[in-house]
Structures are given as structure tokens and as C-alpha cells.
Chains A and B, each alone.
Chain A
Amino acid sequence: MSDVSEPLVRFESVQKSYDGEILVVKDFNLDVAKGEFVTMLGPSGSGKTTCLMMLAGFEPATHGEIYLEGTPINNVPPHKRGIGMVFQNYALFPHMTVAENLAFPLEVRGMGKSEISEKVNRALDMVRLGGFGDRRPAQLSGGQQQRVAVSRALVFEPSLVLMDEPLGALDKNLREEMQYEIKHIHENLQVTMVYVTHDQAEALTMSNRIAVFDDGIVQQLAPPDELYEKPNNAFVAGFIGENNRLFGEVKSIDGEFCQVELEGGGGMVKALAVNIGGVGTRTTLSLRPERTTIGAAQGVSENSLEAKVEELIYLGDHIRSRVSLSGNDQFVVKVPNSHGHVHLKEGEITQIGWEAEDCRALDA
């Protein structure tokens, strides 16, 4: 995103406190380019929704400035910001029909009747709900309500649409379907979207970039692949995808790599030095389960450790195996359920191997 043009949204060292004692958002900086899909991802209470509410204008920023198309909007009331928003529980007006809900933003803008009905019909067709205009929201299924909420946020053609955990109330299958639908709407309309979720799979599926929040701070802001493969710190590594952690002490640093002595008597391993202090500091090694080799002979992988199989969980396409390795009995490896692959038994001793570049040494 090396854009020469001005970002559509810019947060500049924004802080937020509700009670004057605790900062829920500590120092938030974010540029969102036009047409981008940015997700704010984080556990509940991490400050992501607060940031969205500040952008929408429902919460004032305690400090810092938010810009929309270059204009500071801290003092612009929400109804003048022209930002579309999809709420967690859709917030469809229950006393209005679907069509009246969609017409509402157009009516308050003083649009003519024929223009309104044309736009409403087009918006309904876009979410495949043509003919549902006369129903009440309560007569629609969760997925349909969701689609109405999305089209209501888009019908007045805002340049920016915010979504606050919009899929949280849907069941798993519907949620995945809606993820693609929102993604396609985003691609087709070229509208800028800022999306809040605590579901990392959702974030990975839809976003151009993801801001991972924790404790009021953006831990890492990166495209999905980078976030998964190259987490900057232990929180991101742990929050995105499945992750094995090993703790140890940095013994030597050798350019990009470092030697770490594992706690728990696992010996020395070689790891990518990403985010560590100097020699002698404690570090967390992060290793994805799918980047490990099972039953590897000594010397094939750069690192190889002895492990005892503790538990096997059959998951169809793969078998999730919990092993204890270097004193950590929560180490997980995934054994593909395919021909010619090793099959482990509980209690068996095996070798687990991995490459140094897949093993990231992060902050403790």
C-alpha cells in the first residue's frame, strides 16, 4: 500500500479513556487507503470496537485526531460524517419494512420518491433479496437480516463502510457464506471497509490488511499472509492460527539467526531472530504445527528434538497429535491422514524436526 494519494481515513495518535484512569486505546495510528478492506482484530476489550465507534462518531477521542479524506472529523457529529455502518445485531428498525429501512437514509437526505424506490430495489437485488421489500425484519432469517443491514449501509453510497462484528450472531456455515458475500460486495463496489471482528479466520478471509489489537495497542498491522507467516511478537503468533510455543534463553546471535537454549532440557535450537533482546534474554519460540516434520532422522532438519506422543485426536483430514517436547506437553503437530505417512501411537517416542527459518524467536 505505497499510495501517493491521500489516505481516506487516518488515525493520528488517537487515545481513548472512558473513566480518566485507564486508556482503552493507547496510541492508535492507522491509514486506510481508498478501496481498502482493513480489519481490526483482537480479543474482546482490546479497544478495536472503541476505535470503530470513534471513527463513526459515537465516541469522542480523548486525544489525537481522526481524519476523513484529509479533514479532521473530531467535531463532526455522526449524522454528518456520511459513513455507512453495519451493527453487531444489525439494528434494523423493527417497525419499518425492509424497503422502509433501506429508504430511510435516502429519505433523510431529501431524495425524490421515484429515485428512492429505484435505489432501494437495486440495493435489494444486490443482496439477492428482491421481493422481500414488504417484509418486516423479524420475518427474515438471520442471514437475510444481515444482508439487509449491509445493503442499508451501502444504499446511500458512502465512501466508507464500517462493520462491527456483523457476523457474530450467525451460525458457522452462514457466516462463511456471508464472508464471501461481503468480500465480493467490497470488490465489486470498490468501497472502503473497516471491519471489526474477534474471529481470526474471518479476518484472514476478507481483509487486505489486518490490525491486530491487544491491550489498546496495535500489535501488528500487515496483510493476512504476512501476519500468519511472519508474526512480529508472541501475542500475534498466538492469536492468529495455531501456534506452538517454546521458551528459552538467547545464547548467541548470528546475523538473522540465533541460538536458543530451551527451558526444560531440550538443548540448543537455531531460530530466526525476529524480536529478541540481546544475548542472555528470555525469548518465546513460535512454531506453526504444520511446519514440523515427524519421525525425521537426525540431521535432516536443522532442529530435531525427541518427543513423546501424549494424545491423538482424529479430525478426518488430519490427526492432531499432542506431544511433550522439551518439557512442554502442549506441543501440537498435525499428521496428514494420507497414504505413506507415518502413523503415531500414543506413548510412542518420535523425533520432531523443523527448519530454523520456520521457528521465530519473539519477545518473551
Chain B
Amino acid sequence: MADDATMNGVVLAADGLPLKASLNKAMRKSRLRALLLVAPLFIFVLFSFLIPIFDMTMRSVDNWHVSGLMPETTKALENWDGKALPEEPVFAALILDLKAGAISREIGKVGTRLNYEKSGLRSMITSSARKSKKVKEGPYKPIVLKMHKRWKELETWTVIKRNTSKYTIGYYLNAVDMKYDNKTNDIVMQPEERQIYGTLFLRTFAISLAITLICVVLAYPISYLLATLPVRYSNLLMIFVLLPFWTSLLVRTTAWIAMLQSQGVLNDLFVFFGLVDDANRLQLIHNLTGTIIAMTHILLPFMVLPLYSVMKTIPPSYMRAALSLGANPVTAYVRVYMPLTLSGIGAGSILVFILSIGYYITPALVGGTDGTLISNQIAYHMQSSLNWGLAGALGALLLFSVLALYLIYNKIVGIDNMRLG
């Protein structure tokens, strides 16, 4: 130890520099190399995954429309107490903003945004903007109040004032079936008939859970067979398991439509064997049943593969040991074999569950009305209603619930115990 070159407790390398610095220098090259190897994938993921997710999540709270397109009104409303209609300066600012908005043709966006909170406000904004072009001089308050009857309502001003802030939780409230009461500015539940997302989230979780359970039940025996058969047969069986995996998702889903529809293969067979009356063919598709059948089939390999890979590592000697110790085959299976496969069940379940709560194409094609999932609603807001804020909020809620599940799973099972293949 006496030969160790040290200075003030710092270990020195042969050239007298601190050993840590020398080591860092030596490692820099390999670190740089590792970084370069990761870089292409990282950049790809950044642009195709992380940035879009961040953008959509931001949209779910972003509320730039009013403050951005009606800056004067926003400023004028800052000190408004909300107890009575605003005074003249606010109306003067409003006319300025409406004129500018009409010229830039962007005022409609404000209308759309406000319409989410209270229907009817879009037409109020657009028609007033059109009329504002002719307004020459004040006092502006009576002119504006004459433009549209809604300007006389206090509620209208409450909504506008609330949305002058740059960020909003309005979309999230909407996504969990809540809203602001426009009179009192309190957060209240949506009226019964407009509560759709809560039910949809619950249904999505319930369907995903059902699919996961069915997958476990179906995959367990086949994985056991795969893991215990001689390689010759298990390879063939493995190909059968993977074959649907290699087939296009769309093809498989449409194949299920052909199988399950009321004039389809399955119903024809049922009728042929007299199980079902020709007049009362079973409705197996475009409903919940169709979604569950098709998604179970599509997601089954995601359960089989982790289970198989775990079972493959369990040597037959464990079962033999249990038998030799006097346990009958059932006890040996339940007490020794099954607990050893738990990590596979966990990995497969979390995989299937997470995949199914975000599943889109299959429920969209075979789900009908009661078999659609939250992802279909997100797609609707993305493509049809163009309410991207709400789509972002729904998506973010889905993302957070998956992350929460993942954390719970990690807490209980430990993610290190998870084997995916």
C-alpha cells in the first residue's frame, strides 16, 4: 500500500494525474461510441414519439385563443369583478379585437373555443365580428349589446373572462364528465345524458381486463405444451402461434368479420348443426362480443410468448422433486409450478392490458356502438370534431393511467422480474 501514489487522499495514476481523471479520459471514447450507437434511435423516438406526446399533452391545457386573438379584451377584462355586465372600455376593446379578428379571419377560432364551454357562442362571435366592420365610433356598449342577444347575458362574459387565462383544465374536466357551471364558475358534473367519457373509460378498462383474463386462461396451457414438448413439435406449434402475428392486423380483423357476421361462417355452421334457428342468428360482431373475440385473438401471442419464455426456464426437475417429496401431481403443479410462472403471467398480463386499453383499429372495425373503446373516441376528436384539446386530455389520461398501473405493478411484482422473451 505504501507504493500507492496518493496526494491529499486522491489516488494518482502513473503520470501523476488523478486516477479518476485518467479513467474518465480512457472511458470517454467508449462512452462516445455508445452514444453514437444510440443516437439514431434516440432521434427517431424523439421526433416520432416524445415530441408528439409532449405536444398533444400541451394542447390539452393550452388556452391561447382568447388571450392570443382578443388581447385588448383580455387586458380590459383583467379588473372586471364579474358581478354585472362590463363597462364601456371593455366593449371598446372588444370592438377592436373583433375588427382585427375579422380582418385576419381568425376570430372563428375564438368562437369554436368558447362554443366548447357554452353552445351558441360561436355564432355570436362570428356574426358580431362580421358586423363590427361597419362600426365607426362609440359609445360601443349599446352597439355591441344590439349585435347579439348573448352579449347581454352575464354568463357569456363569465365564460370569456375564464378563458382569458393562458392555460385551462377545461378539457380535463370535460374528459372526466365535468364542467364549469357558467353562472357560478364552480366545477360541477355534466348532466347525466352528457356523461360519456367516464363510462367509456370504465368500459375500456373492463374490456381490457376481460381480454387479459381470457388470454391468461387460453395461453397458459398452450405455453405449457410449448415449453414441455420435444423441440421438433414445439417449433411447429410455435409457428402456429406466431402465424397470426405475422399476418396483417387488418386482414385478421376483417377475417373475423367474415367469420362472425350473421351470414358468416360461424353462424352458418350453427344453423347447419341446428344449434341456432335460421331466423335468430347470433349477433357476434359489431358489438362487445366481437371486440372481445377479435382482440383476444390478436393479443394472444403477447401472452403466450412471455409465458413460454418463463416456462422454458423452469427445469423439469422442480416438478419431479415435488413429486418425489410426496406431492400429488395437482399439488405439485399448484404449489411449485404455478408460482414459478407468476412473473410470466405478470409480464404477459401487463403487456396485453396496456396494448388493449389503447387499441384502436379492431374495436373501430368490429366494435359497433357498445364495443368501442376510449381510443376510438380520441380518434373521433382528432379527425371529426377537431377538438384536439379534448383528444389530448383523453390521451393524457390514458397515458397517465397506464403509467400508474405500471408503477403499481412495479411495486408489487418488480419490473426486474418481468420477462418478455
Contact of A79 with B327 in the complex, beta carbons under 8 Å:
yes
> Counting CB contacts under 8 A, is B326 at the interface?
yes
* Residues in A neighbouring B321, C-beta threshold 8 A: 85, 87, 91-93
Q: Which of B320, B328, B332, B335 contacts A87 (CB 8 A)?
A: B320
* Residues in A neighbouring B340, C-beta threshold 8 A: 93-95
* Residues in B neighbouring A89, C-beta threshold 8 A: 315, 317
Contact with B along A43-84 (1 / 0, CB 8 A): 000000000000011100000000000000000011111111
Contact with A along B254-276 (1 / 0, CB 8 A): 00000000000000000000000
> Counting CB contacts under 8 A, is A275 at the interface?
no
Contact of A105 with B336 in the complex, beta carbons under 8 Å:
no
Contact with B along A344-359 (1 / 0, CB 8 A): 0000000000000000
Contact of B318 with A58 in the complex, beta carbons under 8 Å:
no
Most chain-A Cβ atoms within 10 A of its Cβ — which of B315, B324, B326, B329? Answer: B324
By beta carbon, the residue of chain B nearest A109 is B326
The smallest C-beta distance from B64 to any residue of chain A, in angstroms, reads 55
The smallest C-beta distance from A18 to any residue of chain B, in angstroms, reads 11
The smallest C-beta distance from B98 to any residue of chain A, in angstroms, reads 71
* Residues in A neighbouring B331, C-beta threshold 8 A: 108
> Counting CB contacts under 8 A, is B138 at the interface?
no
* Residues in B neighbouring A195, C-beta threshold 8 A: none
The smallest C-beta distance from B414 to any residue of chain A, in angstroms, reads 13
Q: Which of A83, A87, A104, A152 contacts B327 (CB 8 A)?
A: A104
Q: In chain B, residues 318-356, which have Cβ atoms closer than 8 Å to a Cβ of chain A?
A: 318, 320-329, 331-332, 335-336, 339-340
Contact of B315 with A79 in the complex, beta carbons under 8 Å:
no
By beta carbon, the residue of chain B nearest A53 is B320
Contact of B328 with A79 in the complex, beta carbons under 8 Å:
yes
> Counting CB contacts under 8 A, is A331 at the interface?
no
> Counting CB contacts under 8 A, is A156 at the interface?
yes
Contact with B along A329-344 (1 / 0, CB 8 A): 0000000000000000
- Interface band, chain A: 20 to 34
Q: Which of B322, B326, B336 contacts A156 (CB 8 A)?
A: B326
Contact of B317 with A79 in the complex, beta carbons under 8 Å:
no
The smallest C-beta distance from B324 to any residue of chain A, in angstroms, reads 4
By beta carbon, the residue of chain B nearest A83 is B324
Contact of B325 with A152 in the complex, beta carbons under 8 Å:
yes
> Counting CB contacts under 8 A, is A244 at the interface?
no
Task: From known contacts A79-B328, A152-B325, A156-B325, infer whether A58 and B320 are also in contact, taking CB-CB under 8 Å.
Answer: yes
* Residues in B neighbouring A81, C-beta threshold 8 A: 324
The smallest C-beta distance from A178 to any residue of chain B, in angstroms, reads 19
Contact of B335 with A104 in the complex, beta carbons under 8 Å:
yes
* Residues in A neighbouring B323, C-beta threshold 8 A: 57-58, 77-79
> Counting CB contacts under 8 A, is A328 at the interface?
no
Contact of A87 with B317 in the complex, beta carbons under 8 Å:
yes
* Residues in B neighbouring A162, C-beta threshold 8 A: 324
Considering the chains assembled together, what is the distance between the CA atoms of A214 and B378 in angstroms? 71
> Counting CB contacts under 8 A, is A219 at the interface?
no
* Residues in B neighbouring A293, C-beta threshold 8 A: none
* Residues in A neighbouring B326, C-beta threshold 8 A: 79-80, 82, 105, 108-109, 156
Considering the chains assembled together, what is the distance between the CA atoms of A87 and B331 in angstroms? 20
Considering the chains assembled together, what is the distance between the CA atoms of A87 and B320 in angstroms? 9
The smallest C-beta distance from B190 to any residue of chain A, in angstroms, reads 48
- Interface band, chain B: 10 to 19
* Residues in A neighbouring B318, C-beta threshold 8 A: 91, 93
By beta carbon, the residue of chain B nearest A78 is B323
The smallest C-beta distance from A147 to any residue of chain B, in angstroms, reads 16
Contact of B317 with A104 in the complex, beta carbons under 8 Å:
no
Contact of B324 with A78 in the complex, beta carbons under 8 Å:
yes
Q: Which of B324, B335, B336, B339 contacts A79 (CB 8 A)?
A: B324
* Residues in B neighbouring A117, C-beta threshold 8 A: none
Considering the chains assembled together, what is the distance between the CA atoms of A148 and B323 in angstroms? 17
> Counting CB contacts under 8 A, is A97 at the interface?
no
Contact with B along A123-143 (1 / 0, CB 8 A): 000000000000000000000
The smallest C-beta distance from B103 to any residue of chain A, in angstroms, reads 73
> Counting CB contacts under 8 A, is A88 at the interface?
yes
The smallest C-beta distance from B78 to any residue of chain A, in angstroms, reads 65
Contact with B along A286-326 (1 / 0, CB 8 A): 00000000000000000000000000000000000000000
Contact of A85 with B324 in the complex, beta carbons under 8 Å:
yes
* Residues in B neighbouring A88, C-beta threshold 8 A: 317
* Residues in B neighbouring A85, C-beta threshold 8 A: 320-321, 324
By beta carbon, the residue of chain A nearest B314 is A94
Contact with B along A202-222 (1 / 0, CB 8 A): 000000000000000000000
Q: Which of A58, A77, A104 contacts B325 (CB 8 A)?
A: A104
The smallest C-beta distance from A138 to any residue of chain B, in angstroms, reads 13
Most chain-B Cβ atoms within 10 A of its Cβ — which of A57, A77, A81, A93? Answer: A93
Q: In chain A, residues 84-115, which have Cβ atoms closer than 8 Å to a Cβ of chain B?
A: 84-85, 87-89, 91-95, 104-105, 108-109
By beta carbon, the residue of chain B nearest A152 is B325
Considering the chains assembled together, what is the distance between the CA atoms of A58 and B332 in angstroms? 14
* Residues in A neighbouring B315, C-beta threshold 8 A: 89, 91
* Residues in B neighbouring A153, C-beta threshold 8 A: 324-325
Considering the chains assembled together, what is the distance between the CA atoms of A249 and B321 in angstroms? 52
* Residues in A neighbouring B332, C-beta threshold 8 A: 79
* Residues in B neighbouring A83, C-beta threshold 8 A: 324
* Residues in B neighbouring A95, C-beta threshold 8 A: 339-340
The smallest C-beta distance from B230 to any residue of chain A, in angstroms, reads 11
Considering the chains assembled together, what is the distance between the CA atoms of A91 and B316 in angstroms? 9
Contact of A79 with B320 in the complex, beta carbons under 8 Å:
no
Contact of B324 with A104 in the complex, beta carbons under 8 Å:
no
By beta carbon, the residue of chain B nearest A82 is B326
* Residues in B neighbouring A108, C-beta threshold 8 A: 325-328, 331
The smallest C-beta distance from B328 to any residue of chain A, in angstroms, reads 5
Contact of B336 with A78 in the complex, beta carbons under 8 Å:
no
Most chain-B Cβ atoms within 10 A of its Cβ — which of A84, A85, A109, A156? Answer: A85
By beta carbon, the residue of chain A nearest B340 is A95
* Residues in A neighbouring B317, C-beta threshold 8 A: 87-89, 91
* Residues in B neighbouring A92, C-beta threshold 8 A: 321
Ordered by A's residue number, 25 sampled pairs between the chains whose C-beta atoms are within 8 Å are A57-B323, A78-B323, A79-B323, A79-B324, A79-B327, A79-B328, A81-B324, A83-B324, A85-B324, A87-B321, A91-B317, A91-B321, A92-B321, A93-B318, A93-B336, A93-B340, A105-B326, A108-B325, A108-B326, A108-B327, A108-B331, A109-B326, A152-B325, A153-B325, A156-B325
Q: Chain A residues in contact with chain B, CB under 8 A?
A: 56-58, 77-85, 87-89, 91-95, 104-105, 108-109, 152-153, 156, 162
Rank and list the top 5 A-B pairs by shortest CB-CB distance, nearest first: A105-B325, A91-B321, A91-B317, A85-B324, A108-B327
Q: Beyond A79-B324, A105-B325: 7 further Cβ-contacts under 8 Å?
A: A57-B324, A78-B320, A78-B323, A84-B324, A91-B320, A153-B325, A156-B325
